[in-house]
Amino acid sequence: MQVEPHVYPPALPPAIVSAPHEEFPWYAIRVRPNRERCAAMALEGKGLPSFLPLCQERRNWANRIRIVERPLIPGYVFGRFNPDQRLPILTIPGVLHVVGTKAGPLPVDADEIAALQRIVSSPLFAERWPFLAVSQDVLIDAGPLSGLRGKLVGFKSEWRLVVSVTLLQRSVAVVVDRDWVRPDR
C-alpha cells in the first residue's frame, strides 16, 4: 500500500504569499507618544517599508539652544504592508492600531505620502501646522518642490505651502517663495 506523503505545513494560498511591498498602499499606524522612531525601526527590522517624516525644531534647554529632530506628524508612522496580515505590525511594542474602520485599515492617499516625502527630502524649513480643510489650492511651478500641489497660507510675512494627510486630519507646512506658486485649477 502506497501512502501519500503529507506536506507539513500545508502550502500557503497564493493570496497570502508575501508579495513585493510596493504593491501595497501606505497605511497610517498609530503609536504611543514618543515611540515613532522605535516603531519605524521595528517595521524595517521586519522587512516592511516604513516612513517617519521628521522636521528640525529649536529647543531651549537651560542656557543653550539645541536643534532636535521631531516627528512632523506626532503619534503616527506610515507603513506599507498587506492589510490582511496586520498581526506582525500590531505586535510591535508601542503600536496601538492601524488607522481604519471596523471593515479594515484605510490606505493613505499616495499623493499625500509622495508630497510628505518630497517635503522631508527638500532643504526647505518644514513644521507642523493645524489641519486645513478649505483654502486656496496652489501648484508649485519652480524650486525644489516643483510640481507639488497643496494649499497656500500666509503667515508672519512668509508664504507656506500646506500639505494635509486627510485620513489623519494632520497637516505639514513648508516655507516657499511666493514666486514659485501659481493657482491650481
pLDDT higher for 161 or 41? Answer: 41
Residue 13 has pLDDT above 50, yes or no: no
- Domains of the chain, by residue range, sit at 1-108, 109-185
Q: Is the separation of the CB atoms in 159 and 102 below 8 Å?
A: no
CATH class of the domain defined by 1-108: alpha beta
Q: Is the separation of the CB atoms in 97 and 30 below 8 Å?
A: yes
Specify whether domain 109-185 bears CATH 2.30.30.
yes
Task: Give me the half-sphere count of Cα atoms (radius 13 Å) on the Cβ side of residue 104.
Answer: 7
Q: Is the pTM of this model over 0.85?
A: no
SS3 98: strand
Looking at 65-69, 137-141, 151-155, which range is the least confident one? 151-155
pLDDT (tens digit per residue) in 77-128? 999 999 998 899 999 999 999 999 988 899 999 999 999 999 999 888 888 8
Task: Give me the half-sphere count of Cα atoms (radius 13 Å) on the Cβ side of residue 73.
Answer: 27
Which residues make beta-bridge pairs with 60? Answer: 65
